């Protein structure tokens, strides 16, 4: 939690909030880009301290959420020999999953400058690349807190690459994201707050409703999917071609 609070209170992110109202009124570029002259990903890439803090924050979230995924979705990884974590950061999620599921081999896939600092782990291979170009082959693909950073067109492109990368006999894409409902539970205000975070820091990112998720998956070529609510603001979406 400390790394998350330090990230959100960093000067670069705090300054962005001052530009949010202008973005809402003009429907222009993200408040982050207006404030810093480049999008958040380009900025993080050229600021190692902020990049480290960002990855530590994501790792902190993974340590909290992965046990909820395992407990809330028993059998999620049964029958899978390999898994690729798309946008996996420093590999914390994959390290937790291989520890809980000792039969699986994992690929932690992210931009080269991100995985270059990822610690080594048995049965976890770190691979650098661009998810908009292609995704490493595996039995299934896993994305946690990735698609909410992007607009619909970008998400469809990422999901299509994931669909092409997974094996034909066991194909599944696992998405861990918030699902905003019309009648929200007690965590609904948190999901809406996270939607404001996406509006401030990204160009087209957002938290999505179940109908919006259905649209993305359909356009990306998936024929069916299931949604499981876990003890988190996130849900687990399992999508099948």
- CB-CB contact of 161 with 131 (8 Å): yes
Position of tokens 């330090």?
A: 6
Helix, coil or strand: residue 159? helix
- Catalytic annotation on 148? yes
Q: Which helix (H) or strand (E) holds 143?
A: strand 140-144
R_g of the chain computed on alpha carbons = 17
Pick the catalytic residue from 36, 148, 189, 215: 148
Distance set, CA 95 to CA 80, 82, 222 (Å): 16, 13, 28
Residue 157: φ, ψ to 5°: -65, -45
Question: Mind telling me the catalytic residues?
Answer: 148
């Amino acid at each position: 939690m400390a790394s998350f609070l330090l990230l959100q209170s960093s000067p670069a992110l705090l300054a962005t909030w001052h530009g949010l109202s202008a973005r809402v009124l003009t429907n222009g570029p993200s408040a982050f880009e207006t404030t810093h002259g480049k999008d958040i990903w380009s900025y993080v890439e050229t600021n190692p301290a902020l990049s480290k803090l960002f990855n530590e924050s994501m790792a902190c979230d993974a340590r909290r959420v992965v046990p909820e995924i395992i407990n809330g979705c028993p059998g999620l990884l049964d029958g899978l020999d390999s898994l690729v974590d798309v946008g996996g950061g420093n590999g914390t999620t994959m390290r937790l999953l291989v520890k809980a599921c000792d039969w699986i081999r994992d690929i932690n896939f992210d931009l080269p400058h991100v995985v270059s600092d990822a610690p080594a782990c048995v049965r976890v291979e770190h691979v650098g690349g661009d998810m908009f170009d292609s995704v490493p082959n595996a039995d299934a693909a896993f994305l946690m807190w990735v698609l909410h950073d992007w607009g619909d067109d970008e998400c469809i492109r990422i999901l299509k690459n994931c669909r092409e990368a997974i094996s034909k006999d066991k194909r599944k894409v696992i998405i861990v994201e918030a699902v905003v409902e019309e009648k929200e539970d007690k965590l609904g205000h948190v999901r809406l707050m996270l939607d404001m975070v996406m509006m401030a820091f990204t160009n087209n990112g957002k938290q999505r409703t179940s109908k919006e998720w259905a649209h993305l998956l359909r356009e990306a070529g998936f024929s069916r999917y299931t949604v499981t609510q876990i003890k988190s603001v996130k849900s687990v979406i399992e999508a099948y071609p």
